[in-house]
Structure 1
Amino acid sequence: MSMMIKTPPMGWNSWDCYGASVDEETVRRNAEYMAKHLKQYGWEYVVVDIQWYEPKAKSHEYNHFTELCMDEYSRLIPDEGRFPSSEGGKGFAPLADYVHSLGLKFGIHIMRGISRQAVHRNTAILGTERTAREVAKMNSICAWNTDMYGVDPDKEGAEEYYKSIFALYAEWGVDFIKCDDICRELPHEESELVLLSKCLRNCGRDMVLSLSPGPALLEKSELYKQTADMWRITDDFWDNWQSLYNMFERCEKWSIHSGSGHYPDADMLPVGAILQDYSPENRTKFTEDEQRTMMTLWSIFRSPLMIGGELTKNDEFTEGLLTNAAIIGMNKLSRHAHMVWHKEIGGSEHILWTAVCADGGQYAAVFNVGENKGSLNLDLADLEIYEPVTCTDLWTGAVAEKCKSIKTELPPHGAAAFLLK
């Protein structure tokens, strides 16, 4: 069973900016920034993404069929060159301890299955006489990464393998697992997901389980809820408007499946400096209006919030985007979010979302997703509010009393969000 996390996880993930090449110094630097500037707003997870066990990782490209770092029980371990504190078999424990010392939580990315290297060498598995080759499902491979074979849950030793890796992660002090090559692989790998989830839940340490990549399958929504805390509803999300526009339809379809302990995941927030040389042209390609739209949609929809940029290079706008307590509050307090309508109005294409606020009142988010400046006078009857209310603008903090309507002037790709009570 899920440990029932009550609000969507919030944190930082190394993928957008560093791909497979992130190192310990980078993780510590971003953790320190989060502790100092973002923790008070709810940001807490620091997640090391893919191939931390690969000595030659350089970028977002993978080195196919390359040598991996592994222990004698077929379990991948951190590369000591990139993560020096792991030296001597310590694994991620020293880095996790440091992140915990900052009042934060530590996470890692894993691939479904067992490494091809372990299978080819036929190495041992802790807790069983079966070997890597005997538990592998060698016709179950990832289409975009060569590191792993699947594990066949029907084979003796398969459960011991998964128990052994989560026991290791528990020893390290891991709080968050992003498991890749599994979310959209259903129904073919459904039994492996069930086994993996069972072993994680019984490892003796609470860990969030995040499934990746998407798009997730709507018809498998109940299985995701039973096995995971969050799951990707999209493939990798990057900083282009079409991807953001498409997310409205994805969120509309998945909104009924969000609830305590299970969160459809719209993927990371590509904000700030998202390429390693940090030059102005290598910051996010989203405009400021598009970034507000993204944060507004993710928050009312209750997506997990994972920052993708290099935190120490945040500018004033990015800092403000990530520390708006009212918008983050909507992410925590939104309930039963859904789209009300999507139509041409006021000279442009608009979308209206609403949600119940758990602290009382109702949220409303208005989006201009068209290419023209939009003018809108929203009658609160559209939200089934028939008496005057106090209206608080979540982005500006402006408060208006006795409102029967909301007037917005939104630029193309812009958004506004309100609390009505």
Structure 2
Amino acid sequence: MGRLARAGLYAGALIGPFGGAVTTSILPEIGADFGRSPGSAAATLTYYLVPFAVLMLASGTLAQRWGPQRTVRIAYLAYAVTSVLAACSWTFEVLLASRALQGAANSFTTPVLLAVIAASTPKEKLGRALGLFGSMQAAGQTSAPLVGGLTAEIDWRLAFVVIAVVAVGLAILGVPQTDAEPERNASLRSAFVPSTLWPALVGFIGWGCLGGLSFLVAFRLDDVFGLSAGQRGVLLTGFGVVGFLTARYVGKAIDRFGAATTGILGATLGAAMVAGVGTAPLAAMVVLCWALTGAAAQGVLVSINALVLQSENANRGGSVSVVQSLRFMGAATAPLAFVPLYQSHPLPAFLVPAGLLLTIPAIITWSRRAGGTRRTPPPEAPPRPA
């Protein structure tokens, strides 16, 4: 059961992003079923994301009080029930309500899984473990539109049936037992400390200016190069595919060079690639830059998780929960911030986020000097024999 639970721990990283993005490719079918436009059906994405991000401000701390095993099992079962409700939705309003409840349930899985990884993994291997977790999240986000589209060939509701079945299986597996006892007195205040808030700010900027820009990339591929919706969808998956392939190497880099250095390199690469997406004269170059942006995003996101989980804060579940919350709030803010820029002139819509990404190295460096995050150098090599 230990190995199965460990496998379930990483499989749980996949189902959250999968459930969030599964409606991306089936919005026309959902809209047609309820007499709504695809634009109106896009509310299924918002209704999932908002409670997911907001509740994560507190979900990690509550999980510290209740214990990870019980919290995760209840959350998976709730995720399964709300997925069945989505599959059986008889009105559009019921579907939106089920999506909101799905997001709420998922807010009690992701930060808890990360905290369990930190508690059950030796420090010298934590980066690699977080890299594997990040690769599974990328796989879930990338595969969701494909699976959703394939099931919609029969009935879009089947996508939610698949999610429900997987969630029940994960609830049965649970998560590995750790030596850490539930923190009955864990408080929200203990999560809102400098060692959490600086990485949270990096997550807000990083994900908002990297993963949150996919809609701008789609706009440019349409407006400048005239690609169809199908072509744009396929090409945009490069971000997730490269993120999946590189996340484990990012984790190894964290173990070797440190989380702060890896995060700085990821942000710098991301700034260059986002600028390239907005200025490249050929569609192939845009697609290549966007794919490499997926690697940069993993460099930033896996690093900030490591910075938080390697800190001395006892409420690690609450801290990583706050960081993840700000990460997704950044993605939710990106359209509000950058669509008006794009409508005014496309180029600033890419150069501004690129410039914001270049503030991340300064934030990480300053926070380390100010003591906001504990420096975690890579483990020393063993002495050579005489």
Name the TM-score, length of structure 2 as normaliser.
0.30
> Which protein is bigger by CA-based radius of gyration?
1
Higher helix share: 2
Higher strand share: 1
Which structure has more relative contact order (CA 8 Å, sep 6+)? It is: 2
